[in-house]
């Protein structure tokens, strides 16, 4: 026994390599005095060791929030500046302005009854613009519904946004979705789904498919902290972790979900702390700091693709607008709080200060751009509004490659009814097949 003890003490045969039966032997009970005994149960995957001290853990280190810019748009630590070029920074900023102008016009259009629904992006522009800039067009995006900036950055035009919101004949979704439920196969952006959280496990599966195909790409999945309370969130993180899928889970934590303050949503250290439980690389970032978001997503993408590991990002931000046109946020937060955030830390203002410090932007350019973009948005608005609705035949297409007999029968019956009772089934506002 002395020879065995000596061998173990030298590290030639660590104790955790012995069989479970040996671990329970008298020898190993005695040897705990010399070195910690590693737990050998098959469910103990994290390297736990035995202890004779009973302790319930309740305090954990609070995860810090990474940033690059201060509130005045100044880089705090020079080597954290990603040194994006002038053209890239101006593309990001112009996209923010375009999105802002579109939001203002479309919100008012909904209030006038010209479209049925809308959701603005005010205050959260930094989360999706910083992300979009750090990705390639081969990376697949699963959005929630407040990431229109990522689409526009990739080339989804304002006109296409208008067509979708009006559900007209040029809407890529053929009028089958609510407004702001964008999507583009060409741009690798999956169509938005209304139910909260459904995109999260879908993203895990899509990422696993990319891995099996050997693609040099990842999946980025956006969701809010409210959606992180759904069971789909936990299922998705576990699937992604165990399959080592190249997916970046991006949580926009604006503190209110739809209408519930964070303190009433969860306990613990926000959403980022959940990543550790699933064995994930995790980081928290200032979501109003575009450069910080860019740095974080760029590194997360590398980890996901090169190291074959999923990543969880929690971006702290603030939703300035109402949750949607169906919401009145004054019912759950004071109006002064909103106005204070707009003045103190709007991501568009912080990034503008940064590009002005680089001598890339001026007040004159700001006024000219806003005037130009507003005119463009209004022109696209007018174009989309005058178009007809999609053809009625689209009720039956795009599910089956060939229509089954029952749908053929239903289609024929509908056509007969429309022909027999034209005043009740007026299709003049719809495009023809």
Task: Show which residues are catalytic.
Answer: 108, 194, 323-324
Number of C-beta neighbours around residue 24 at 10 A: 12
Structure tokens belonging to residue 32:
């705990």
- Note whether 364 and 371 are within 8 A (CB): no
DSSP string, 131-145: HHHHS-TTSEEE--S
- Note whether 75 and 292 are within 8 A (CB): no
Helix, coil or strand: residue 293 = helix
- Residue 427: Cβ-neighbour burial (10 angstroms; 0-12, 13-18, 19+): middle
Distance separating alpha carbons of residues 131 and 311, to the nearest angstrom: 14
Structure tokens belonging to residue 263:
């303190």
Which of 107, 105, 124, 125 has the alpha carbon at shortest distance from 116?
107
Distance separating alpha carbons of residues 111 and 214, to the nearest angstrom: 48
The residues pairing with 282 across neighbouring beta strands, listed in sequence order, are 312
Measured in residues, the chain has a length of: 433
Structure tokens belonging to residue 309:
């590991």
Rg value, the chain, Cα: 27
Strands laid side by side in the 65-66 sheet: 65-66, 281-286, 311-316, 247-253, 219-224, 140-142, 189-190
- Note whether 360 and 90 are within 8 A (CB): yes
Find how far residue 213's CA is from the centre of its chain. 23
- Torsion angles phi and psi, residue 252, rounded to 5: -90, 105
Helix, coil or strand: residue 315 = strand
């Amino acid at each position: 026994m002395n020879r065995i003890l000596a061998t173990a003490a030298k590290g030639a045969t660590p104790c955790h390599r012995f069989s479970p039966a040996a671990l329970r032997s008298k020898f190993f009970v005695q040897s705990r005095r010399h070195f910690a005994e590693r737990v050998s149960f098959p469910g103990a995957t994290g390297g736990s060791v035995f202890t004779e001290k009973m302790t319930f853990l309740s305090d954990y280190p609070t995860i810090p929030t990474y940033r690059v810019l201060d509130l005045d748009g100044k880089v705090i630590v020079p080597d954290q500046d990603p040194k994006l070029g002038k053209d890239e920074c101006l593309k990001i900023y112009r996209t923010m302005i375009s999105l802002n102008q579109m939001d203002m016009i479309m919100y008012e259009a909904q209030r006038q009854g010209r479209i049925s629904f809308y959701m603005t992006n005010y205050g959260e522009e930094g989360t999706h613009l910083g992300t979009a800039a750090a990705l390639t067009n081969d990376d697949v995006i699963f959005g929630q519904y407040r990431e229109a900036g990522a689409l526009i950055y990739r080339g989804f035009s304002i006109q296409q946004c208008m067509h979708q919101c009006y559900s007209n004949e040029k809407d890529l979704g053929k009028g089958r979705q609510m407004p702001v439920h964008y999507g583009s196969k060409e741009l690798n952006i999956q169509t938005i789904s209304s139910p909260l959280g459904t995109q999260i496990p879908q993203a895990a599966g899509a990422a696993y498919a990319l891995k099996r195909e050997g693609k040099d790409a990842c999946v980025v999945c956006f969701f809010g902290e409210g959606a992180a309370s759904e069971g789909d969130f936990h299922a998705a993180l576990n699937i992604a972790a165990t399959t080592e899928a190249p997916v970046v889970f991006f949580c926009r934590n604006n503190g209110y979900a739809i209408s519930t303050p964070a303190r009433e949503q969860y306990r613990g250290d926000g959403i980022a702390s959940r990543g550790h439980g699933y064995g994930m690389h995790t980081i928290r970032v200032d979501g109003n700091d575009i450069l910080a978001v860019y740095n974080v997503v760029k590194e997360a993408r590398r980890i996901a693709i090169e190291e074959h590991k999923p990543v969880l990002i929690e971006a702290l931000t603030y939703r300035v607008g109402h949750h949607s046109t169906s919401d009145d946020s004054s019912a759950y937060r004071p109006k002064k709080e909103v106005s204070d955030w707009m003045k103190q830390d709007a991501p568009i203002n912080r990034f503008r200060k940064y590009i002005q410090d680089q001598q890339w932007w001026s007040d004159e350019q700001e006024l000219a751009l806003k005037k130009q973009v507003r005119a463009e948005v209004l022109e696209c608005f007018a174009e989309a509004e005058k178009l007809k609705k999609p053809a009625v035949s689209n009720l039956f297409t795009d599910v089956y490659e060939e229509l089954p007999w029952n749908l053929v029968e239903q289609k024929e019956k509908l056509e007969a009814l429309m022909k027999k009772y034209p005043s009740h089934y007026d299709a003049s506002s719809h495009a023809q097949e």
